[in-house]
Amino acid sequence: MNQELGLKILANLMGWTHQEASAQYRWLRVMSKLKYDGYQDFAAGKRFIESLIVWLEQFEPNERAAAYQFVRKRLVYLGPSEVQHLVRLTYPDHLRRGLVRTIANERGLRTHEVWVDPDARAALDALRRRTLFVGLSDGARIDVFRRSNVGVLSNEQIVAMPQFDDTKWKDLLDDLRKDTSDDEARFQQVILLDDFVGSGNSLLRWDEKKSRWKGKLVRFHENVTNFGACALAPGWRLLVHHYVAGFEGRMAIERTLNKRANDRATPWFGASVEASFTVVLPESLKLAPDRDAHFLALIDRYYDPSIETEHTRVGGSDVKLGFAQCGLPVVLEHNTPNNSVALLWAESDGENGAQKMRPLFRRRQRHL
């Protein structure tokens, strides 16, 4: 659809006056071009303006203003440039500082003294090379992370996915020993990277029905146990780093890691496990009745329970406010987190008399 035609259809749909339409057109043109049209699930000829029209049509005329204002005022969209910027910041602004703090603590120095102490600087270089970086999913943007740290980190210490066999572990270890000229060298630290955490359930959770721990961290533990133990030094450390975290997700991860560390009934990493984040979204971002009452009413009215699955039920009885009731208005350029409110991403046929849900940013479903 031609954008100008789309804007006229939108103006008629919203009942805007000529003056209102002119003001909104300016915002829509800019935001479509700079941000929303880049959403990866949009197709040619059906980008943001077209999707917005279809999305708004599902509401009654007197409800559309509240839906549109939600998009204008509350939606948080992280586009390619923002996400790549966060990835590029991750090592120099966060992970490197952690390495420096480790060396400073070991040597009884203040962090800035590490850079001027020759022995401490050498220890920092050694620790950096003895750190393995592993992507937890395709959202980790390992390609961007690798290119952003050329000349600082070796390609042979960065792995795209967390599931790899003993051959890969052996190759990583051989490269480490070659680079360090140390036939006994092993990795002292592993850093797991991922893009977004809303509830923390996909990383680590306790399955009540099966009475066992599940999640990405459990699968990595199995990989280390089966293949990687020989490549890790005694007392090695594990850090899980997300580029973006919801406030509740950050708190949940820290609670769950502590709970898992205290569970002595089943084997766990022979290492300290910590979490860090490049950006933590504010607690106030979550939808709340005192400021989002009109849109929350739409969420309740236009919800189709048929979108629920065995995987979504892990987080609670429904996903009106997203998985685990996180209530986030967040969209990432490559996908919409299921922790965001369902009215943004869900699509349904309206079975059993329920409302048919139409997404603004269609989500590509992934199992937990």
Q: Are residues 90 and 22 in the same domain?
A: no
Reported as a pLDDT band with limits 50, 70 and 90, residue 288 is: very high
Residues 203-236 have pLDDT tens digits of 999 988 889 999 999 999 999 998 888 999 999 9
In a shared domain, residues 142 and 267: yes
In a domain, 267, yes or no: yes
Would 366 be classed as within a structural domain? no
Same domain, 68 and 84: no
User: For the chain, how many structural domains are there in total?
Assistant: 2
pTM of structure? 0.92
Query: Which of 233, 256, 280 finishes a domain?
Result: 280
Out of 232, 258, 280, pick the residue that ends a domain. Answer: 280
Is residue 113 predicted with pLDDT exceeding 60?
yes
Share of residues in the chain with pLDDT > 90 (%)? 80
Q: Is 314 found in the same domain as 234?
A: no
Whether residue 123 is contained in a domain is answered as yes
Distances (CA, A) of 286 to 194, 269, 334: 21, 33, 21
Same domain, 160 and 254: yes
Q: Report how far residue 325's alpha carbon sits from residue 249's, in angstroms, rounded to the nearest whole number.
A: 11
As a whole number of angstroms, the distance between CA 335 and CA 357 comes to 18
Q: Looking at the structure, tell me whether residues 21 and 126 fall in a common domain.
A: no
Domain boundary among 280, 298, 323: 280
CB 269 within 8 A of CB 238: yes
Give the domain range for residue 179.
80-280
Does residue 101 share a domain with residue 20? Answer: no
Q: Whose CA is closest to 196, among 291, 102, 334, 73?
A: 334
264/332 same-domain check? no
- Looking at the DSSP bridge assignments, the partners of residue 343 are none
Q: Are residues 116 and 228 in the same domain?
A: yes
